[in-house]
Structure 1
């Protein structure tokens, strides 16, 4: 995404990762036509991959806006960077949404785009693997589409996703098999064991490079395996349309107390400490984490 643009549509990244650690960078004033990055969204899986790789600017999605009355613009640029609001992949939220709800809509948008490619005629037998922000966005989108009794497979006790409408949290050993299984954790081999013969396995979470499903296993089980990556080819305007759909549904249907339960905002200067916790038991319980760069 942003790392592949020939001309960078941003300036002043605020977090750099390398050697398994994150450090703060000095911000930069927005250039002509750019907006300041005020908040940024943490994607734990993405951040962990960045930490394990070579030196780079870290980031997933940053929020800014062209005026106080306008809706937030969410752009795929590094944490806290100033950016061109018209850069590739940017989407705009309706005015009045708070940053946490915008971050939550971002994860539901992923599932909205991905599930359009998955057969969902029968939503009565659905299993979702994972309990992080990708899984949370997925179960919200499944519920919006009519699913109930969604079995969420997680080893976390008292996972926050358990408060989502239509969700039943179960440990892996009690999950059983589903006709539709969505891997939202990037563990396709584990998700495959939960897929009923003749069922569909959707890969929403990003697997590790080199992860594989056995072709013979897929062949004999009669599975349909569908890549559910949000950036797979789609009609022009589909990216913004999916985000708008998620925003309107969340603001019209979600209990605001749930959004408060699921979303947590930390000062941007706490980014190094937060990154150090992403793989450990001290990671915040809230699935949707944001960094506030307004005073950092």
Structure 2
């Protein structure tokens, strides 16, 4: 039986956070099952977590890091926060040895943009706009930089967004941002991003829109836009998923100042998860776009 054929119940166990009805709750740890590794860190996706907080009770999270031993590279699996998991489960990727968890998380967000940009029908990155300043947007500007972009307008309402430290980034408010030939929505607001796209330009949908969000077909038709779905799990060649992650890991290791990874990432003890979730929609939300939970002692 291959990893793709394994029942979902065998892929992970012991999710550590449940959300719903506006709050997050800790759950007890569970011993890893046969062939599983313990979940040591997990990564938040603020937009997804906020949507799930408002819904019915469910397990939270979709990126957890674990490894078989200290010399091995981190395995990052699409399983709930802090869960023990099968390292061969579908969607799992492996980082080169020696990378710290924050850098691995950055690479995972960059991987999303790498796969999405492979589907965008242009290599011209001279007039690019990214909407958003969270972890998806940060991964996007890192990947654009890897591909040669030297000037990237980032549209954000945050006055001192941490993404401003990325190479080539100019942070601008939505009013006065101007339009771009290539606009990438990394915030899940496609209608707003569309208004920033020049006639005949390309609108890339990297952030996940809310269910029911729509762009008018007549609007797209008249503007002559090419609209590209950039979801990381859209069809791709076999091996492309791990290859994109490896590419991001190697580029970050060779080009990113480790101090920037520290500036962009905050690690919080796992037992503080309820308090952290409560801040996701509050003015006191951490300034760092990438948030990790540490489950090693929780």
Q: Provide the residue aligned with 1:68 in structure 2.
A: 70
- State the Cα deviation string for residues 224-250 of structure 1 (Å, max 9, x = none): 000000000001110000000000000
Q: Provide the residue aligned with 1:245 in structure 2.
A: 247
Q: Provide the residue aligned with 1:292 in structure 2.
A: 294
Measured after TM superposition, the shift of residue 50 of structure 1 is 1.2
- State the Cα deviation string for residues 118-147 of structure 1 (Å, max 9, x = none): 023210000000000000000000010011
Q: Which of 183, 194, 197 is matched with 2:196 structurally?
A: 194
Contact 1:198 1:223 in 2 (8 A): yes
Give, in whole Å, the separation in 1 of the partners of 2:130 and 2:274: 31
Measured after TM superposition, the shift of residue 149 of structure 1 is 1.1
Question: TM-score by structure 2 length?
Answer: 0.97
- State the Cα deviation string for residues 53-98 of structure 1 (Å, max 9, x = none): 2110001200000111000000000000000000000000000000
Q: Provide the residue aligned with 1:260 in structure 2.
A: 262
Question: Unpaired segments of 5 or more residues in structure 2?
Answer: none
Measured after TM superposition, the shift of residue 195 of structure 1 is 0.2
Q: Provide the residue aligned with 1:227 in structure 2.
A: 229
Contact 1:46 1:60 in 2 (8 A): no
Give, in whole Å, the separation in 1 of the partners of 2:10 and 2:88: 12
Measured after TM superposition, the shift of residue 51 of structure 1 is 0.8
Q: Provide the residue aligned with 1:275 in structure 2.
A: 277
Q: Provide the residue aligned with 1:125 in structure 2.
A: 127
> Where do residues 141-152 of structure 1 align in structure 2 (5 Å cutoff)?
141-152=143-154
What is the alpha-carbon root mean square deviation over aligned residues? 1.2
Secondary structure of 1:283 counterpart = coil
Measured after TM superposition, the shift of residue 41 of structure 1 is 0.3
Contact 1:16 1:58 in 2 (8 A): yes
> Where do residues 101-112 of structure 1 align in structure 2 (5 Å cutoff)?
101-112=103-114
Secondary structure of 2:9 counterpart = coil
Q: Which of 34, 37, 60 is matched with 2:36 structurally?
A: 34
Question: Unpaired segments of 5 or more residues in structure 1?
Answer: none
Give, in whole Å, the separation in 2 of the partners of 1:156 and 1:197: 27
Q: Which runs of 4+ in 1 moved over 3 A?
A: 4-8
- State the Cα deviation string for residues 153-182 of structure 1 (Å, max 9, x = none): 001011000000011100111210000000
Residue 58 of structure 2 is aligned to residue 56 of structure 1: yes
Measured after TM superposition, the shift of residue 5 of structure 1 is 5.7
Give, in whole Å, the separation in 1 of the partners of 2:269 and 2:129: 35
Distance 1:53 1:8, change over 3 A: farther
